Amino acid sequence: MSFAISAIPARTRNQASRGRAASARDQAAPLSSHDLATLRQAPLLSALSPDAFDRLAASFYLIDVPREAPIFNQGDPSDTLHIILSGRVALSGSTPDRRACILEVFGPREGLLDPSALVGAPHPISARAIEPSRLACLPYADLRAVIEAENGVCRGAVAQLVQHWRLFLRRLEDQKLRSAPQRLASYLVECAEAIGTPPRSPAAPIRFVLAEDRRTLASHLGMTPENLSRVIGQLRSCGVQLNGRAVAISDLAALRQFGCAASGH
């Protein structure tokens, strides 16, 4: 399978990184009035009062990136908010085994608001320009300070949406670049970790009970109940027992490895 983005040719990649490095340092520039007007229309900032907007806008700086330039990579600390003024940026996820897929493509006025950044976690995804783009940048520290000063419902809504965002991201990646057995494996690992109670002795299997019936679980994991049955059979050889809703996992590490769930979200 794997409709992967195959490796970017070395020359392009070098160009790109050089382009990026140059941008961040040398091309950093204050925003023109035209750019400011575009920025004002970004959904992220459009609710702000003129005063608050001006205060925040002063902290933005500008970078231009060439085609194929990486904006950030999976695993990087998320220190900067980017809002696209022109061009287009693709967000992609990848599994530890180097296969990647594009999750979404964003255009002007959309923010690469990686929600994980709002809670201080590293980027769970990568972003790269798919055409020459101009980005307005803001250190997340500035943004977070503003956010933490707010105590309304919206802040809660953001927290909630960030959680959902990460879940959906995860499911989309699962669906696009993992096989059915891998999806089941990583789901079981997820459940086991959510339970949080390690077995009494290290050698004893982890046991818990599924919240969902078979049909629901199958649909949740994006497969038919028939196929789920077969997949359960396959995982038995990895030390997973699944009878009814009762689960027993004898080697969690092996299962995690099998599900390629190591990418950190």
Partner DNA sequence: GGGGAATATTGACTTGGATCAAACCCTGGA
Partner DNA sequence: TCCAGGGTTTGATCCAAGTCAATATTCCCC
Contact call for residue 110 and its own copies (CB under 8 A): yes
Residue carrying the six token digits 């750019």: 35
55 vs 245, which CB is nearer to DNA? 245
Size of the site for its own copies (CB under 8 A): 71
Per-residue x/- track, 138-157, its own copies (CB under 8 A):
-----x--xx-xxxxxxxxx
Per-residue x/- track, 38-77, its own copies (CB under 8 A):
----xxxxxxxx--x---x---------------------
Q: Are 61 and 29 in contact (CB under 8 A)?
A: yes
Contact call for residue 251 and its own copies (CB under 8 A): no
Taking alpha carbons only, the member of 220, 224, 145 closest to residue 186 is 220
Q: Are 261 and 190 in contact (CB under 8 A)?
A: yes
151 vs 237, which CB is nearer to its own copies? 151
Binding segment for its own copies (CB under 8 A), chosen from 23-31, 201-209, 221-229, 245-253, is 221-229
CB of 216 to its own copies, least distance (A): 6
The radius of gyration of the chain from alpha carbons, rounded to an integer in Å, stands at 22
48 vs 101, which CB is nearer to DNA? 101
Residue 9 touches which of DNA, its own copies, none (CB < 5 to 8 A by kind)? DNA
DSSP letters, 18-52, are: HHHHHIIIII-BPPPHHHHHHHHTSTTTTTS-HHH
Per-residue x/- track, 228-247, its own copies (CB under 8 A):
--------------------
Total residues found in the chain within this entry: 265
The DSSP H or E segment spanning 21 is: helix 10-22
97 vs 104, which CB is nearer to DNA? 97
Residue carrying the six token digits 């599900």: 259
Residue carrying the six token digits 């009970």: 209
Residue 153 touches which of DNA, its own copies, none (CB < 5 to 8 A by kind)? its own copies
Q: What is the contact surface with DNA in residues (CB under 7 A)?
A: 1-4, 9, 11, 179-181, 213-215, 222-233, 242, 244
Spatial strand order in the sheet of 246-249: 206-209, 246-249, 240-243
Out of 36, 121, 172, 254, point to the residue binding its own copies (CB under 8 A): 172
Write the CB contacts of 19 (distance below 8 Å, at least 6 apart in sequence): 65, 66, 69
Residue 136 touches which of DNA, its own copies, none (CB < 5 to 8 A by kind)? none
The DSSP H or E segment spanning 82 is: strand 80-94
227 to 1, 58, 182, 245, 249: CA distances (angstroms): 18, 56, 13, 17, 20
Contact call for residue 218 and its own copies (CB under 8 A): yes
Q: How far apart are CA 109 and CA 111, in angstroms?
A: 6
Contact call for residue 265 and its own copies (CB under 8 A): no
21 vs 161, which CB is nearer to its own copies? 161
Say which amino acid occupies 186: S
CB of 193 to DNA, least distance (A): 23
Q: Are 84 and 110 in contact (CB under 8 A)?
A: yes
Contact call for residue 121 and its own copies (CB under 8 A): no
